[in-house]
Amino acid sequence: MTTPITLLFGVHAHQPVGNFPEVIEEAHLRCYSKFFEVLEDYPEFRFASHFSGWLLDVLAERYPKDMKRMAKMTRRGQVEWFGSGDCEPVLAAIPHRDRVTQINTLSDKLEKRFGQRPKGAWLTERVWESAVVASLAESGIEYVAVDDYHFICAGADPAKLDSFHTTEESGLKLDLFPISEAARYRLPFSPANETVAWLEDLARQGQRASIYFDDIEKFGIWPETYEWVYEKGWLTSFVEGVLASPLIRTGSFDEFHTANRTRGIVYLPTASYIEMNEWTLPGPAAREYHALLDDEKTAGRFERRKAFLRGGIWRNFFSRYPESNWMHKRMLTVSNRFHALPQSQQTDERRELLHRCQANDAYWHGLFGGLYLPHLRRAIWNNLLALEAELDRLAPRPVIERHDIDSDGAEEIFLRGHLLQAVVRVDGDAAVVEFDTYERTHNFGDTLRRYDEAYHDKLEKSGQKVIVHEGEGITSAHDRVAFLHEILPGDADIDTRPRGLFVESWTALDGTEHAVDTYQLPAVSAREGAVSFTAKVDGGTITKHIEVDGAHLAVKLRGKKLSGTLTTVINLAMPSCDGFLGRYVLSSGEIPGGFGDLLHLDQASQLTLEDGVLGGRLRLSTSLPARIIARPHRTVSQSEAGFEKVMQAVEISLSWPLLDGVEQSVLLEFEPLA
């Protein structure tokens, strides 16, 4: 007689900190609410659920009826709640002390709301490093779910990946459930009856359990899934098929964990899911890796060799994208300062700000990562700067400091005033890489370069035609090619210089253009809140003086023994982007357009950027009239919905004749809207 297989079915729900309310509402209506509404009618179908703490708080505030439904399903034993970091950090990327407080914060919320303290935990993006074992064990977590790919990379026997294994770190133990990749790719994309038949075949083969734990967004939010899962009834058919089968039973991870013995000891390598290993690689390396995978698949060797075809690791995003690395290292800095406070000053409110600026989404890029989305990066900076302002109030920092915070080999100089902070990188460009207003907790330097992404190759191969699945079932977002915007030649050209504030070039009288990227720092100015650089250019020099004074950031540029045109480019992250609340205002009061428009002024000495989302205006003024060209800076990226162009910043180019010894000053002043 065939022993029934246990279906350990789990779903993970998360929305990034700072995501748009309308996005969360749509996700709730098309997915979260619908999913639980369907399963409420089948109390015998038992499953696990993980919601990030931040999302759970938002849903509890806006949709209390659905929270009551979840609580009811929990009380009757249908739902097992999984914990994790409260604001969905990649645990491996934050300090141990913050892992523990993040995990305990969510566990406390679940216990208070649903009467169940989690024994299991979801690992964000299934990023595994052995360093997290101690943090999880210390927080009362007994088991986690990671991909079966992690086990295969450790040389585990695939036939034994139907139950949990045990690992340890310094004697602290943690059990690991291997998530089935085959199940991840079938649910919910294959027809329900075929998926049920597949599970029954596994039972006949003697498999103990089929372990599924993946994004709930596959059930309604991914392209094509709402119609497929709910309108065409996939979820109902699947649940009814499982419950009707004598070869399948559902269960909780907790009960299975209690009733079974471990498969044995295992030590996993640093890993995430297999797609992530490709996303972490820079363009050229990603192309080589993808070609290698294609060759192995074509030759029929991939499944046999995929354990040895590993790409990069999640932390590679910090080396791939300097913007991510800078944000991450700034987060670590405020974490250190927070934990240096006396316990009485480590309040829940301040800890919440720290937790929120550790949310994973804005630190990485792939099909689901949010580094390319300005509003997600902005949320990190909002919380980071709000906490930093609190810390400065308790323990003020010097008005000028010099460090290499991001370990890139170039120091940064922090210039601080009462209202503003500017950070200048001590390299050849001497650009301002961070420009903060504490009043609005906003970083005007929070932009992103155009990078070489391997998936840009699809733009030419597809001819911008939508490519989807043919036959029964629907297309997974991993395989779907679609376009949200028309992508034109040149839209994906990579940047060769940083996207900072005040990046200079000089054009000689013969039309030859020179990048001013040889700035040297003789010494930090003795004057507080200021720094000066000098660059040698074509037999002459250019001096650059940067100063923070009250509500002003002043940059003074002076050339000697040079004739031509000096241009400085200022990239400004404006929250309105190309929306209707962002606009340019001339000195006359005229409004020539929005931030998404091209603006060309031949001779001007003032331009105001008014931003309704920010609730403030940034006024740019020059001591001498300049030619001003403002345009939107956009990047091309790919998400589960398709290729899209995203506005990252306003790029303002200021040019004027370079007269020997004549100083040109540029002033940026922020003020709130009335």
155 exposed, middle or buried (CB, 10 Å; 0-12, 13-18, 19+)?
exposed
Distance, in Å, from the CA atom of 464 to the CA atom of 467, rounded to the nearest integer, reads 9
Distance, in Å, from the CA atom of 538 to the CA atom of 493, rounded to the nearest integer, reads 28
Q: Averaged in consecutive runs of 10 residues, what is the pLDDT profile of the chain (674 residues)?
A: 94 94 94 96 98 95 94 97 97 98 98 97 96 97 96 92 97 97 94 97 96 95 92 97 98 97 96 90 93 93 88 95 98 98 97 98 89 96 98 94 94 93 96 96 97 85 48 50 64 90 94 93 69 91 92 93 93 96 96 97 96 96 96 88 88 92 90 83
Token pair, residue 286, equals 């990603």
What's the pLDDT tens digit per position in 122-172?
999 999 999 999 999 999 999 999 999 999 999 999 989 999 999 999 999
Please report, for residues 104, 300, 515, the alpha-carbon distance to residue 98 in angstroms, rounded to integers and kept in the order given.
10, 45, 43
Distance, in Å, from the CA atom of 30 to the CA atom of 227, rounded to the nearest integer, reads 10
- Give the pLDDT score at 669: 93
Amino acid at 491: D
Distance of CA 19 to the CA centre of its chain: 11
Closest CA to 584 of 648, 552, 630: 630
Q: Say if residues 459 and 492 touch (Cβ distance below 8 Å).
A: yes
Quickly list H helices, 115-252: 132-138, 148-153, 181-186, 192-204, 225-226, 234-244
- Give the pLDDT score at 589: 94
- Give the pLDDT score at 633: 97
| Alpha-carbon Rg for the chain in angstroms | 27
Distance, in Å, from the CA atom of 267 to the CA atom of 384, rounded to the nearest integer, reads 35
Contact residues for 579 (Cβ-Cβ < 8 A; gap 6+): 594, 596, 613
- Give the pLDDT score at 455: 86
Distance, in Å, from the CA atom of 321 to the CA atom of 284, rounded to the nearest integer, reads 15
pTM of the model: 0.93
Token pair, residue 337, equals 């300062």
Catalytic residues: 125, 215
Closest CA to 183 of 133, 242, 243, 141: 242
- Give the pLDDT score at 524: 58
- Give the pLDDT score at 637: 87
Closest CA to 427 of 309, 282, 322, 343: 322
| Paired strand residues for 44 | none
Amino acid at 130: S
Contact residues for 380 (Cβ-Cβ < 8 A; gap 6+): 17, 18, 327, 331, 356, 357, 359, 362, 363
The DSSP letter of residue 126 is G
- Give the pLDDT score at 144: 98
Distance, in Å, from the CA atom of 136 to the CA atom of 14, rounded to the nearest integer, reads 20
Contact residues for 63 (Cβ-Cβ < 8 A; gap 6+): 28, 33
Amino acid at 457: D
Instruction: Indicate the CATH number for domain 5-272.
Output: 3.20.110.20
299 exposed, middle or buried (CB, 10 Å; 0-12, 13-18, 19+)?
exposed
Distance, in Å, from the CA atom of 653 to the CA atom of 98, rounded to the nearest integer, reads 42
Q: Say if residues 558 and 623 touch (Cβ distance below 8 Å).
A: no
Q: Say if residues 149 and 161 touch (Cβ distance below 8 Å).
A: no
Domain boundaries, the chain: 5-272, 494-672
Distance, in Å, from the CA atom of 445 to the CA atom of 452, rounded to the nearest integer, reads 21
Q: State whether the Cα torsion 223-229-231-234 is positive or negative.
A: positive
* Cβ neighbours around 134 below 10 Å, total: 18
Residue 239 φ/ψ, nearest 5 degrees: -60, -45
Closest CA to 271 of 261, 280, 260, 282: 280
Identify the CATH assignment for 494-672 out of 2.60.40.290, 2.70.98.10, 3.40.640.10, 2.60.40.10.
Answer: 2.70.98.10
Contact residues for 176 (Cβ-Cβ < 8 A; gap 6+): 143, 144, 145, 146, 150, 151, 164, 165, 166, 167, 266, 268
Residue 207 φ/ψ, nearest 5 degrees: -75, 135
Give the 3-state secondary structure of 636-649. EEEECCEEEEEEEE
- Give the pLDDT score at 351: 98
Longest CA pairwise span in the chain (Å) = 94
Q: State whether the Cα torsion 164-166-169-174 is positive or negative.
A: positive
Token pair, residue 626, equals 């300049």
Token pair, residue 438, equals 């504490």
Closest CA to 193 of 232, 225, 221, 222: 232
3-state SS, residue 473: coil
Please report, for residues 52, 125, 196, the alpha-carbon distance to residue 89 in angstroms, rounded to integers and kept in the order given.
10, 9, 34
